[in-house]
Amino acid sequence: MITMITTAVFVARLGAVKADTLLVINTDTQIDVASGSDFEFSFDISVCSQQGKEYIQVDLYDNGYSYGMDTSQRPDPMLMIARGQTVYPTASYNADWQKWSWLPTWAQKDEDGYETFRPYHRIVIDNRACTEQCLNGDSVCENNCEMVKSNGDIFKGVVKNVIFFTENRLNGNLRARCSSTPPCPEPDGNECNNKGECNNIDSVGVCSCVVGYGDVACDKVATTLPNGEQQPADGNPFLLNEKMWDYYSFEVPPHASRIGIDDHCRVKQTLWRSNSVCQESGGREGEWREWYRVWRAVDPRFYNHGRHELLSLQARLSSH
């Protein structure tokens, strides 16, 4: 864990494990990355275009992940890619600001997956014509798109096993695959973990999970919170290991609020004990995302450098 308070910048591309590995499209590649090392790879998306498939999903799954395992046992992988035959993406961490930055500017990364310590990371490349990607003739968007595409069909990628917060070897599964429609998350090779349906929302593949499952890939059990009942039922706060997550689902009744603050915000206030987190109501489609953001806000990697060993929360739903 980092304890310094002075400004420091760490460059994340240190100690490459091996020379560039060529990923074969639609074929799994097993990787083994020591803590503090990089796994560098490349892949050619022209084969996808030849098949008329203009979406390419690159995903990484931590084979050693076990829900509930202690943080000290887990690796800390970061997945990033950049279009171009010679440019490998790099990542730098500023300890003072507790923020990452990436180069080149067009590098793609699963920042959300990294920040939330997920075992599954994914990046989707939209290789459609720039006129299709950019709405309403957005010339700035089209120019930026054409500039990136001018780098060719070869992508360079890096899986970084970050050493700054934990020191464990990554045993993972890396894959790139073509798709004719916006792909959805596929942890362990199963779309939406076989616990949901893949929907196309504004050219982005989004999993719609069955009751009882949640997160972006429907790979986490989500406890249902009955309206008006306390969880846990015995009234004792539950314990959550550092950097681990619990998931919940609930419904906000259509009569939501009579005082101008939606029920969802009241739940967030109960969880975080703060009015400041109640910033967006989000509506029905935003319910899960807003709940998720509350949990993300207490990730100790970005607050006090992990000094919180345990997190104790108690929630109560009330629809007045």
SS3 letters for the chain?
Answer: CCCCCCCCEEECCCCECCCCEECCCCCCEEEEECCCCEEEEEEECHHHHHCCCCEEEEEEEECCCCCCCCHHHCCCEEEEEEECCCCCCEEEEECCCCEEEEECCCCEECHHHHHCCCCEEEEEEECCCHHHHCHHHCHHHHHHHHHHHCCCCEEEEEEEECCCCCCCCEEEEEEEEEECCCCCCCHHHCHHHHCEEEEEECCEEEEEECCCEECCCCCEEEEECCCCCEECCCCCCEEEECCCCCEEECCCCCCCCCCCCCHHHHHHHHHHCCHHHCCCCCHHHHHHHHHHHHHHHCCCCCCHHHCCCEEEECEECCCC
Domain membership of residue 198 (yes or no) is no
Do 30 and 139 share a structural domain? yes
Domain membership of residue 194 (yes or no) is no
Do 41 and 158 share a structural domain? yes
The CATH number covering residue 62 comes to 2.60.120.380
Domain membership of residue 218 (yes or no) is no
Do 173 and 54 share a structural domain? yes
Do 172 and 32 share a structural domain? yes
Do 133 and 254 share a structural domain? no
Count of Cβ atoms closer than 10 Å to residue 130 Cβ = 17
Do 231 and 171 share a structural domain? no
Encode the chain (320 residues) as per-residue pLDDT tens digits.
333 333 333 344 444 444 678 888 889 999 999 999 999 999 999 999 889 899 999 999 999 888 777 778 889 999 999 999 888 999 999 988 889 999 999 999 999 999 888 899 999 999 999 999 998 889 999 999 999 999 999 999 999 999 988 889 999 999 999 999 999 999 878 899 999 999 999 899 999 999 889 889 998 888 888 877 777 777 777 777 766 777 887 777 665 544 444 444 444 433 333 223 333 333 333 333 333 333 333 333 333 333 232 232 323 333 33
The number of distinct structural domains making up the chain is 2
Domain membership of residue 126 (yes or no) is yes
- Looking at 180, 201, 235, the residue that finishes a domain is 180
Do 269 and 151 share a structural domain? no
Do 115 and 176 share a structural domain? yes
Domain membership of residue 219 (yes or no) is no
- Looking at 155, 180, 205, the residue that finishes a domain is 180
- Looking at 180, 212, 246, the residue that finishes a domain is 180
Domain extent, residue 231, equals 225-316
Do 102 and 13 share a structural domain? yes
